[in-house]
């Protein structure tokens, strides 16, 4: 079990929220304290032929818009639009390294890590998201495996509710490494 105290150390191993790394999109890796441990929010995108990540398990987020001013603004807006969770009272712990999309090489996504206060109430935007799950951190760590697609075998986190692979897999893997790094502080 990873304690909330370990999560409190994350800002020492994450990049500053203001370090945008040339990204043009942002996602939120939301942590909800639960019984001395924490859960992470995963969402499943609706099937949509015009969406590169159609039907996939993902993190809430989206593209930067000029009205956002910053990528933090993007992640606050997109998280609220998609899940109904307002990040106003959340504690932003930092950002992970920006990740580049293989299908869209010019698309660079910045993952923000935020600790939620209280019990968030979700109200999914059904035009964008099909469902959501809160997954205990330890379950994420233990669910690592591989899945076979038509294009080959890929690393994944495998849950009863869906498979996390690709960009979201890479983000979760980097987050796990960051959590492990805090345990040595």
The count of domains in the chain is: 1
Give the residue numbers spanning the domain of 25: 4-182
Residue 175: give its domain's CATH number: 3.90.79.10
Strand partners, 115: 31, 91
The set of residues, in sequence order, having a beta carbon less than 8 Å from that of 181 and lying 6+ positions away, is 13
Radius of gyration, CA atoms only, the chain: 15
Query: Alpha-carbon dihedral of residues 31, 102, 160, 135, nearest 10 degrees?
Result: 0
**What mean pLDDT comes out for the span 70-76?**
96
Name residue, tokens 């969770």. 85
**What mean pLDDT comes out for the span 89-100?**
93
pLDDT tier, 19 (very low <50, low <70, confident <90, very high otherwise):
confident
């Amino acid at each position: 079990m990873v304690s909330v105290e370990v999560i409190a150390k994350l800002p020492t191993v994450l990049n500053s929220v203001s370090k945008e790394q040339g990204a043009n999109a942002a996602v939120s890796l939301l942590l909800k304290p639960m019984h001395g441990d924490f859960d992470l929010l995963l969402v499943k995108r609706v099937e949509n032929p015009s969406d590169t990540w159609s039907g996939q398990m993902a993190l809430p987020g989206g593209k930067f818009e000029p009205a956002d001013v910053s990528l933090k603004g993007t992640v606050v807006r997109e998280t609220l639009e998609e899940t109904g969770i307002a990040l106003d009272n959340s504690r932003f712990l930092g950002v992970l390294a920006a990740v580049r999309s293989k299908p869209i090489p010019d698309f660079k996504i910045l993952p923000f890590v935020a600790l939620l206060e209280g019990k968030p109430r979700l109200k999914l935007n059904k035009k964008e998201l099909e469902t959501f799950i809160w997954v205990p951190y330890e379950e994420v760590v233990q669910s690592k495996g591989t899945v076979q697609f038509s294009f080959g075998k890929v690393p994944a986190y495998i849950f009863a509710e869906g498979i996390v692979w690709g960009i979201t897999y890479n983000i979760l893997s980097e987050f796990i490494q960051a959590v492990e790094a805090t345990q040595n502080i």
